[in-house]
Amino acid sequence: MKIFIDTADTAELKKAFDTGLVDGCTTNPSLIAKAGRDFKEVIAEICKMTDGPVSAEVASTDYETMLKEGRVLADIAQNVVVKLPLTWDGLKTCSDLTADNIKTNVTLCFTAQQAWLAAKAGATYISPFIGRLDDLGMDGMELIAEIRALYDAHGYETEVLAASIRSAAHVKDCAIVGADVATIPPSVFNKLLYHPLTANGLDAFEKDWASTGQSIL
């Protein structure tokens, strides 16, 4: 499963890319507002940090304007993925951008039938939101499993990009049910590695090694 980082904070992103384990980045209008920077500048900066896919979301909701915005965003760098909402206009825009060989990420997906329509529109990625479903007492992970089964049954190549991830357990479960990508907030990415027994065990090994007075080099 590929790892994308869900942020427009370039300092956090740099730390994550430095691990060598991150494959791309996703942003959304809320993350851009939180970063407090010029949208196109941030996307250009992120695209220089990685050759991997960088999702940049359109701001309009009507077909004609989304198509224009999508083309502007795609011109920023070759690795921009245009993010579009799961509406009829969004799907129509997705079909047109796909026909122009522009990569797309259809976002705000909450049902398998929505994901099916996005695949029919040729989306490169579908973004089902796990955490926001869990918040309503529903099962976000079940949605990931349903989309996986639907896409596999019909041979759709759209990649399942699990979004709205809130915990390390979400990430692990996404990998188990077969998501192609998980887009992870930096705070959750940092937690993926941590286990107290790893940290305590390493402390003990360091102390015991020092007590031997030896050196490997």
Q: Tell me which residues are annotated as active site.
A: 83
Using CA atoms, how far residue 103 sits from 14, 33, 124, in Å, is: 23, 24, 6
Q: Which is nearer to ligand E4P, 169 or 202 (CB)?
A: 169
Q: Which is nearer to ligand E4P, 67 or 162 (CB)?
A: 162
Tokens of 19: 């691990």
Q: Which is nearer to ligand E4P, 187 or 200 (CB)?
A: 187
DSSP-assigned beta bridge partners for residue 92: none
Q: Which is nearer to ligand E4P, 59 or 199 (CB)?
A: 59
Smallest gap from residue 194 Cβ to ligand E4P (A): 20
Tell me how far apart the alpha carbons of residues 172 and 12 are, in angstroms, rounded to a whole number: 22
Strands 125-128 and 24-26: unpaired
Tell me how far apart the alpha carbons of residues 119 and 159 are, in angstroms, rounded to a whole number: 9
Smallest gap from residue 8 Cβ to ligand E4P (A): 9
Smallest gap from residue 206 Cβ to ligand E4P (A): 37
Smallest gap from residue 213 Cβ to ligand E4P (A): 51
8 near 38, Cβ under 8 Å? no
Q: Which is nearer to ligand E4P, 93 or 164 (CB)?
A: 164
4 near 26, Cβ under 8 Å? yes
Q: Name the E strands within the chain.
A: 2-6, 24-26, 54-57, 80-85, 104-109, 125-128, 159-162, 181-184
Virtual torsion, Cα 160, 25, 97, 86, nearest 10 deg = 50
Binding footprint of ligand E4P on the chain (CB under 6 A): 6, 26, 28, 107, 127, 129, 131-132, 163-164, 183
Smallest gap from residue 169 Cβ to ligand E4P (A): 15
